[in-house]
Amino acid sequence: MKDQDIELEDNNEMENEQEQNSGPSSFNLFVDKIKAWINGQNKTLVFGVSAVVLITAGIVLYQYLYQMPREKKGMVAIIDMQKQFDDDSFSLILKKGPKIADEYSGTKAGDLAAYYVGVSYLYTGDFKNAVTYLEKVSFDDKVMKPQAIGLLGDAHVENKDLESGLKQYLKAAKVSKNSFSTIWWSKKAARVYEKKDEWKKALAIYEDLQKNFKDEDGISELSKYIARAKAKLDIY
């Protein structure tokens, strides 16, 4: 081979090496893909954080600019209703109460208004509307919560819906935080079981109350209810 041909061949090999070095290698392509993926993730993170910030700001603005003023206005609006409720003036409550309860729905004042209205309907014999308004009530405190639930049970039972009434009585007894309330709503649940001719379930409630609340007032009278349930079940 001539020297000139050898030199040309060496030059071609050098050019090929330079082209390979200057072009993107597999490793470089991999690195570029990783960078692109990271950038994409960063953008997604930024957008996600921005969305959370906007949502949080929206909630704060909603509470301070809309909900809190409604709470204050609602509490003022129900002052007369509270007095009327204390005086058992249910017919007076029903003149303006339903409108106030609907207007301030979703606030604590609205819950109280719905409770006053629901109870007023219950005590004046309009059981259908009593159910409608007592279903809107959502209390968190340990006294009013079981009371509202139990009275909803009363409204259902008076409306001839024993299943729904029973459900509310059992729920009220479960969430009650004092013995009087637990006993009261449990006994009402047992009476519904009696009406449904489910004496075994009624007996179970009476015996449970007698066992767990034996020192409470009114428990002694359960003996006659237990005896009646056992007679129905032919247990002697």
Out of 58-62, 85-89, 116-120, 209-213, pick the least confident: 58-62
**226 near 194, Cβ under 8 Å?**
no
Residues 7, 18: Cα–Cα separation, whole Å = 17
Looking at residue 30, its pLDDT comes to 54
- Look at residue 91 and give its three-state secondary structure: helix
State the pLDDT at residue 49. Answer: 47
User: What is the rounded radius of gyration, in angstroms, for the C-alpha atoms of the chain?
Assistant: 37
- The per-residue pLDDT for 206 is 96
* pLDDT tier, 188 (very low <50, low <70, confident <90, very high otherwise): very high
Q: How much is the pLDDT for 40?
A: 57
pTM of the model: 0.72
What is the distance between the alpha carbons of residues 114 and 20, in angstroms, rounded to a whole number? Answer: 80
pLDDT above 90: residue 71: no
- Is residue 220 pLDDT above 70, yes or no? yes
122 pLDDT more than 80: yes
Percent of the chain with pLDDT over 70: 71
pLDDT at 73: 87
Q: For the residues 142-167, what does the mean pLDDT come to?
A: 96
pLDDT band at 168 (very low <50, low <70, confident <90, very high): very high
Structure tokens at 89: 């003036």
Which element (helix H / strand E) includes 141? none
Q: Is the pLDDT of residue 193 over 50?
A: yes
Average pLDDT over residues 183-190: 97
For residue 236, the model assigns a pLDDT of 77
Is residue 77 within 8 A of residue 109, CB to CB? The reply is yes
Mean pLDDT value across residues 66-78: 78
The DSSP output letter for 139 is: -
Give phi and psi for 142, each to the nearest 5. Answer: -75, -15
The per-residue pLDDT for range 133-146, each reduced to its tens digit, is 999 999 998 999 99
Q: Cα dihedral sign for 6, 9, 13, 15?
A: positive
Q: How far apart are the first and last CA of the chain?
A: 123
Mean pLDDT of 98-126: 94
User: Does position 91 have pLDDT exceeding 60, yes or no?
Assistant: yes
Q: With contact defined as beta carbons under 8 Å apart, do 107 and 94 qualify?
A: no
